[in-house]
Structure 1
């Protein structure tokens, strides 16, 4: 998987794609099938940086990396030290994989993370046969990580996880061509494999929507709530956390693209609800 000799044997890859496309699941599947030792660490948004570093070193200590026991119990004072512990755990003589998921959240927590990553990569990790995968769904931030003037510029290749193709959606839903186009739009322009997987083969769009809105844990509703919640974060209002489900639950009969007032949250204007979900069918499902 990882070949080469000399000063640079490691490879770094920046992997990005729309949220809920399955980025994390895809990289985990890749690691499981690789048959080489690996570690996967997933950051938590808004967490204290000290606690995050403790979880990071804990993940290293519990991994199958050959040097895992060497970092057990380590308390890293900063990200430079935490990432150096990864270089200790990664083997020198056999390939391995190190995944850091939700990198943008680490950058938000601690602005020193990028510089520490560059330093440890240049001095320690790049000389080892390791594949470093940096994953993130915040696509503008992941693009910025590779821009000129940023610490990790020029050190990583890039791969983008694409949404499902129309043909994929048709094969998974068992629908004819016309209905498959509707299914593609209803499931987030094919972007959310979990929603497409929940579509029982052969079920029409109206029946699918009726089933989905009747189940508060259906992938369709969960994805909608999460999307609204994420869109609300720039406003910094906690009231939005509980608003997403209310917005989705409002009957919007008679509107092609339903608009829901959000004055209760303190922000004027309205939110587009079902512009990409096949809005007429969604409205009928709520009736």
Structure 2
């Protein structure tokens, strides 16, 4: 399978490898959601090095079984004298010490411990053993140690003050593929590449399923013809297996995906208590599944809205899950038609986070923009929703000191953004704390549009280019 994108991440890993090569040893704590391609990225990186390495992937097994598998991984590695590892060590502490002693002192090497959260959960004292071995032996050698995991909360906790490995590893977050990476993989024009990025969430395993040059309808037709296609099963696996039962993830995430984005509206859609929902949202946010967002302006607000961070999961819950019965009955063709009926409305809202992320990269370099007040991008809304503004650029979040621009997103299939959209935005711009009559107003649309009264207008092509 071809490897696309990840130039920035490969360069980052290369920088830390060079630092380890010069000494002392370096450790990276690599985290990222499941299916985001962490393991493949690291395999590709290690494959390009002329260095001995050991790659171990933990499973949800007992400490004894994990130790046996670890032993086999060391014996199968290309570390010098790996065969001297011998029989399974008596403990994880001994295993880590033996591994550290095998690492060469005269040339760089790489050690990868993948799915680390399984070890921290099942192996008592693992973090303390790792810290001791790192401090006394491993860090004194030219080694790059990569600790990799999908449980964001556990991986972040490794580097907190009260944990043994505090300040010994440098955190690295692996994000989904960018929209420019997706365009490279699919060969699609910019607007359709954005569609593909929304539907797949930028997850490599799903992006590689997209036939090169195929539009959304063609892709769905292929994917929904087979109930076992990863595009279908990945959502089921994520909902059923990635979140603890006490998060009530299937119910809570489904409510958010259907458009119930305030706490009260989510609660009204579910048969759980207020306290249970509060705990659920906190845990889902901790695991990176949900984002709690506030209106961006110069005044504080308590009008929190919740959003599913993974657009693929949002798509799966809102548009794909309701038609799974059709797919199972062999009527993927009907399922595609049903999805396409709801697609324009879903896409119009789902594209906004991608637009904001793109503008945060793009706008500060524009001639019209104040670089200091356009570093962040968000939205603005009131409790009654009588004012809702798609784009707010500012110097910081969630409470800005300066507002750099306001904007409107109109993501129609072919229609450009219109003068009436400018008039509507200008009529409510003064309702945003920190905005004034001089605040630039910008427009964003799927199709290229005339500048007209706008300070600037951006299209799908501009948004994709922002990620290059």
TM-score category (smaller protein): 0.7 to 0.9
Which residue does the alignment assign to 2:314? Answer: 275
Following the alignment from structure 1 to structure 2, what is the Cα–Cα distance between the partners of residues 184 and 129?
39
1:11 matched residue in structure 2: 26
Deviates more, 1:27-36 or 1:161-170: 161-170
- Match in the other structure for 2:336: 285
1:135-185 Cα shifts (integer Å, max 9, x gaps): 001111110000111100111112111211122222322333332222111
Give the distance between the partners of 1:234 and 1:83, measured in 2 at CA: 34
Identify the match of residue 216 of structure 2 among 199, 202, 205. Answer: 205
How far off its partner does 1:39 sit? 0.4
Distance 1:132 1:115, change over 3 A: same
**Cα contact 1:104–1:136 (8 A) shared by 2:** yes
Rate the CA distance shift 1:4–1:167 in 2: closer, same or farther, 3 A: closer
**Matches of 2:43 and 2:164 in 1, distance apart?**
26
In the other structure, the counterpart of 1:57 is 71
Residues 13, 132 of structure 1: 8 Å contact kept: yes
Are residues 1:144 and 2:144 paired?
A: no
Q: What is residue 217 of structure 1 aligned with on the other side? A: 228
Cα offset, 1:258, TM superposition: 10
Distance 1:218 1:79 in 2: 39
Question: How has the CA–CA distance of structure 1 residues 173 and 279 changed in structure 2, closer, same or farther, with 3 Å as cutoff?
Answer: farther
**Mapping 1:1-287, distance limit 5 Å:** 1=18, 2-4=20-22, 9-45=24-60, 47-73=61-87, 75-188=88-201, 190=202, 192-231=203-242, 233-234=244-245, 257=258, 275-277=314-316, 279-280=318-319, 283=323, 284-285=335-336
Change over 3 Å in CA distance of 1:60–1:281 after alignment to 2: closer
Contact 2:21 2:107 in 1 (8 A): no
1:194 deviates by: 1.6
The answer for the alignment partner of 2:327 in structure 1 is: none
How far does residue 196 in structure 1 lie from its aligned partner after superposition? 1.1
Q: Deviation digits for residues 16-42 of structure 1, max 9, x if unmatched? A: 111111101111111111111100000
User: Aligned in 2, Cα 1:280/1:42: closer, same or farther, shift over 3 Å?
Assistant: closer
Structure 1: distance between partners of 2:83 and 2:320: 56
Which secondary structure does the structure 1 equivalent of 2:163 belong to?
coil
Rg larger in structure: 2
In 1, the alpha carbon distance for the partners of 2:320 and 2:271 equals 27
Unaligned runs of 5+ in 1: 244-255, 260-266
Structural RMSD (CA): 3.0
The separation in 2 between residues aligned to 1:214 and 1:268, in whole angstroms, is 35
Which sections of structure 2, spanning at least 5 residues, go unmatched? 1-17, 251-256, 261-269, 273-307, 324-334, 339-468
TM-score for the superposition, normalised by structure 2 = 0.50
Number of residue pairs matched by the alignment: 256
